[in-house]
Structure 1
């Protein structure tokens, strides 16, 4: 997830916030200032409610950060590099640069966050018990204790991408010794859990007219979508395993010379090509950006003769220029650059291909067909051996 605001580094880990974090701060602050705190302590000046609510909202974000830091620190100790931590509308995201090597490591990384949330809940609860301070502050601390407990329990629900889904994945991985099978099961559980939350939220909204049902439906939709996306990414990694970029790419694509007039490029290449996006090259054949049909159609016809391709081409972001011999799973790391283009492929500095979403989809579908065929062959072999025990499958003398 892209960080809109960088907050610095904690334990050497880059920490930032997505713009949607502001929404959750305003939402929590508003609920606290207008509902929770006034019900707990009556007849206080509105400004005081808002001041305490703002402080509690920020402390809750700190709790979310503590939850994610626990994941990150344990993961790093288990040999998994950590890219960043990002706070956003529905909590926090820790981005890893690798995967855990064993079910035990995955279990420990997964439970670290909820354990820290439970610990913080206990700390806030003890502060409520022993804190002899203003009633409004005590009410806010009590709310923080409750929310951290809810955060810990909710995150342990068994479905990806929640921590409980990771724990389920680790258990299934250890039980069956098959990580791919565990991937599918955890992703499926996450989708079922998400749909269940959507259903419960809808019933709450219809039967009880509680606006909290909308929030539950939003969380359910996110879980279902995230679980499905995670399942697809896992399947993609499995389908691309052992393959190279050259096995996936479109070779010798139509390119856009950076020095060419836009009018000439449209007449000579764009109108005759089946592509919707073109790698831009300089005189030496090196990558110089990307040009899409959308960008071309946005240029007024009167301006096309006086402009060159280079003036409308978009730069190629880092990570989108690959080598034919790179591991094909590198295609999955960045998001598409422009339209359907996922990467430009260059060999010895010269553009030799490109990878589009269609190339990736085709390769993954072929991987599914290949896997299905292998399973069918294995089943036929088993059936033959059961029908003719002790006999060879082929006549050695044939």
Structure 2
């Protein structure tokens, strides 16, 4: 859910963030929480808990804004910032051109959290912890300091892992090797957290180390996804989007029923296809749209009743970089991008399935040292 924008950067709140917001509010609002002051009523505790949660929200947002603003200063566009259960993530559209740029973009987030934490602790000192403002300032400061320490751990893809990536990149002058090393270190940290969580659970009973285990699992999955992203980016390097488009004969006519479209999709092992009226592109339909129609209604309804119109589907030039189009689709969590020729006419449909099929075919023809295997290469840019 988008809640606005700051400095032209869209701010999005994931539904999972509501859990963290409620947890922080409850922690401060319940009688056994930090605000142990008899003179406070239940209503005052709840209000102060919600206020503390909003301040925590603002501090996490400041952390991500720091990443985003430094990235923009380095010439890298930033689409949005999303807050979710584990904190936040900035949708930075592109990669830093140099190792120092990557290091600064990564390090500025924890540095911002540390500064916020120290300021809050400094504010709490003269106020004293026997008043609500002082107690909230102290705990907010402590949480931000801990957030800075956690994020600077060299566990890819945490900020510290990205700093490690930048250091290895500069030392070895090989970006791919830096990715492999930093992801490997990140996996060690992730498994360490999982092991610690299991040990805590065994020592304290069920649930004692659940959160630690969950964080370790998240870091492990995030590291694997980052490795996959890098290898896919390498596979697409130097290729045009039109090379990865679905075959031009994979389409459904606008007068097809939804049931016919579903059968076509399943027969051709695809999830998304273009819809045509004669030779004119009319829209895009997927199994996801069809799933919202009751099975007994699919024979009676036309596919045009559920398809996405052309203006609802992202577009890109057919001669655009395949890697850029794939990145755009991933950022938008989409399933298809319409490719246009120089005249602005439909040229093809770039889908997740068509891209992965192309990569699989490339891997099969290239062998173990082929296009999608991580490989070492001389960096095209100068690493100072």
TM tier relative to shorter chain: 0.7 to 0.9
User: Which of 283, 307, 310 is the equivalent residue of 2:278?
Assistant: 283
Deviation at 1:325, TM superposition (A): 2.4
* 1:360 is the counterpart of 2:367: no
1:243 aligns with 2:239: yes
CA distance 1:351–1:273, shift in 2 (3 Å) = farther
Matching residue within 206, 209, 212 for 2:205:
209
Cα deviation for residue 64 of structure 1 reads 0.7
Indicate how the Cα distance of structure 1 residues 251 and 165 shifts in structure 2: closer, same or farther if over 3 A, else same: same
Q: Is the 8 A contact 1:256 1:291 kept in 2?
A: no
Is the 2:106–2:162 contact (alpha carbons within 8 Å) kept by the matching residues of 1? yes
Query: C-alpha displacement at 1:85, in angstroms?
Result: 1.6
Following superposition, the deviation at residue 126 of structure 1 comes to: 1.1
SS at match of 1:243: coil
Gaps of 5+ in 2: 372-384
In structure 1, distance between residues paired with 2:125 and 2:172: 46
Aligned-pair CA distance for 1:365: 4.0
Bigger radius of gyration, 1 or 2?
Answer: 1
The residue aligned with 2:322 is 328
Q: Which residue of 2 aligns with 1:310?
A: 304
Q: Structure 1 residue 63 and structure 2 residue 59: aligned?
A: yes
Q: 1:154 aligns to what SS in structure 2?
A: helix
**Quick one: distance in 1 between partners of 2:277 and 2:52?**
56
Q: How does 1:71-220 map to 2 (within 5 A)?
A: 71-131=67-127, 134-209=130-205, 211=207, 213-220=209-216
Structure 2 Cα separation of the partners of residues 255 and 293 of structure 1: 16
Residue pair 1:253, 1:354 contacting (<8 A) in 2 also:
no
Query: 3-state SS of the aligned residue for 1:87?
Result: strand
User: Who is 1:380 aligned against?
Assistant: none
From the superposition, tell whether residues 280 and 296 of structure 1 become closer, same or farther in structure 2 (CA, over 3 Å): farther
Shift of residue 187 of structure 1? 2.4
1:306-352 alpha-carbon deviations (Å, 9 max, x no partner)? x333123344675644454232111342149999x544545456655
CA deviation profile, 1:250-290 (whole Å, cap 9, x unmatched):
322331111345677789x6797555543211234224222
Q: Is contact 1:282-1:288 (8 Å) kept?
A: no
State the partner residue of 1:36.
Answer: 33
Contact 1:173 1:182 survives alignment (8 Å): yes
Deviation at 1:151, TM superposition (A): 0.4
The CA distance in 2 between the partners of 1:338 and 1:138, in whole Å, is 42
Q: Is the 8 A contact 2:60 2:88 kept in 1?
A: yes
- 1:49 offset after TM fit, Å? 2.8
- CA offset digits 1:364-394 (Å, max 9, x no partner): 345556384479xxxxxxxxxxxxxxxxxxx
Where structure 1 has 5 or more consecutive residues not aligned to the other structure, the ranges are 376-398
Match in the other structure for 2:382: none
Q: Distance in 2 between matches of 1:80 and 1:98?
A: 6
1:125–1:142 Cα contact (<8 Å) kept: yes
Q: What are the Cα deviations for residues 291-319 of structure 1, in whole angstroms up to 9, with x where unaligned? A: 449828955457625x3331233446756
Equivalent-residue separation in structure 1 for 2:256 and 2:332 (angstroms): 22
Q: Paired residues, what number? A: 367
- Could you tell me which of 265, 290, 295 is aligned with 1:295? 290
> Using the alignment, how far apart are the partners of 1:235 and 1:106 within structure 2?
19
CA RMSD in angstroms, aligned pairs only: 3.3
Deviation, 1:22, is 1.5
Distance 1:108 1:231, change over 3 A: same
